[in-house]
Amino acid sequence: MNLQAVKQRFGIIGRSKELDQALDKALRVAGTEMTVLITGESGVGKEVFSRIIHSLSPRKHNKFIAVNTGAIPSGTINSELFGHVKGAFTGASADRKGYFETVDGGTIFLDEVGEMPIDTQAYLLRILESGEYIPVGESKSRKTNVRVIAATNVALEKNIQSGKFREDLYYRLNTINIQVPALRERPEDIYMLFRKFVVDFSEKYRSEPIHLDEKARKILDRYTWPGNVRELKNVAEQLSVLADTPLVDAEQLVRIIPSLLDRNLPMLHHGFNGNNSGSGNFEEREILYKLLFDMKGDLNDLKGLIFELIQKNNLRVDDLSGVRSLLSSPSESGLEKTYKRNTNLETNPFPIETPEYSATNSSFSNRQPIILHSDESEGNFAETEDLDEVLSLMEMEKRFIKKALIKHKGKRKDAAEELGISERTLYRKIKEYELADKF
């Protein structure tokens, strides 16, 4: 079965490369008996992948059960999974079959496996290795033939380091790993999913399907969707019920769901202005401001270094106040004023600390040339030439993106956080500057 047929059969919406790769891996492993670990953030649809694997496996005619192990209390989880015998504990008035016995011959999906207690992990490891388990209160082992598909939204490696998860169980579960992408990593699928949910809710509530105008769609695309597909579905349902008109504009969208303006970027956007598109791309201005502020900080560090070298090496300067004037910080630079004017912020979100010196501040424009004299070779100077380095803003932006990618070894999510921009903007910039092949 090809990917398109699987999407139609299971109602999967999307055409992103990351989603197709995850589906392709699920198709390849479905026909085997291998244990599968599905990883991804909460709300991305990990259970759907487990059902796909079961439905396309030789066990498809047998039972399938999904168990949220994180929602079962630690005192009863062993009984729920492996069963118990009469009198095993207070309240155990009769024998009870566990899930592994009930689903014998089928597939069990263990969601939030990272929350499973340590003693339960030992039981699960034994089942994976030998197919044997012991019900609570019984001394005789039993056999079961169950395929295990596990899922987690936490980094199990960190749980291993902290002693919360068994390392041997991790490697036993992680025979095949399927990483389900977050919604923000597949922006081309956002509106497709939204339209699907809207149509479903229009049928449910017997109303006309709503539509979004261009600016409202951009708000959806720029939002980071921490709740992923589940959150997008909730937004579609709210709009289907609360929208005043079938065509929802940006103003109405933000009025109904104001949280859509929350963005994990280096500066906050207070309020909504539908005319942002006329002043250029908002995200590009944000990264540009951050780059310029970072350069200002580097320049201040360089000024301090020059002053320190002069003092430590006992160099004579004709006019020391000229050097000190380099370190004086004007009350507010033109860049900071521009930043505040464009962002409506009262304070600078990127404060730059400069060293405090007791020198008298002098005008930057009236500064006299600084001439350094060494005690041993006074009067002997090499010929010098002043060069004005011309750097375009595009080159500056490309350089900072390249540095961030090198620093984080090509991990685009970490690089985006370092730069203070969304992953979507970083992906677009990498393509624009032809950096994809290098990282």
Show me where the domains of the chain are located.
3-181, 185-262, 282-372, 393-438
Q: How confident is the model at residue 410 (pLDDT cuts 50, 70, 90)?
A: confident
Per-residue pLDDT tens for 74-115?
A: 889 999 999 999 888 888 889 999 999 999 999 999 999 999
Residue 201 makes CB contacts below 8 A (sequence gap 6+) with: 207, 236, 237, 240, 241
* Architecture of the structural domain at 3-181: 3-Layer(aba) Sandwich (3.40)
β-strand partners of 150: 37, 110
- What the block records as the tokens of 368 is 């006299």
Domain covering 185-262 in this structure, CATH number? 1.10.8.60
Range of lowest pLDDT (16-20, 127-131, 362-366): 362-366
> What pLDDT sits at residue 401?
85
Say whether pLDDT at 283 is over 60.
no
Say whether pLDDT at 390 is over 90.
no
Instruction: List the one residue out of 99, 74, 97, 100 whose CA is nearest residue 85.
Output: 97
Say whether pLDDT at 152 is over 50.
yes
> Which of 38 and 390 is assigned the larger pLDDT?
38
Range of lowest pLDDT (193-197, 267-271, 383-387): 267-271
Question: What's the CATH class of domain 393-438?
Answer: mainly alpha
Residue 237 makes CB contacts below 8 A (sequence gap 6+) with: 197, 201
Mean pLDDT (the chain, rounded): 80
285 neighbors 266 (Cβ within 8 angstroms): no
36 neighbors 175 (Cβ within 8 angstroms): yes
- What the block records as the tokens of 63 is 């039972």
Name the residue type at position 124.
Answer: L
> Which of 333 and 316 is assigned the larger pLDDT?
316
> Which of 436 and 148 is assigned the larger pLDDT?
148
Select the highest-mean-pLDDT range: 80-84, 262-266, 272-276, 396-400: 80-84
Pairing of the two strands 147-152 and 36-39:
parallel
H or E, element range at 317: strand 316-317
pTM for this prediction: 0.60
> What pLDDT sits at residue 439?
67
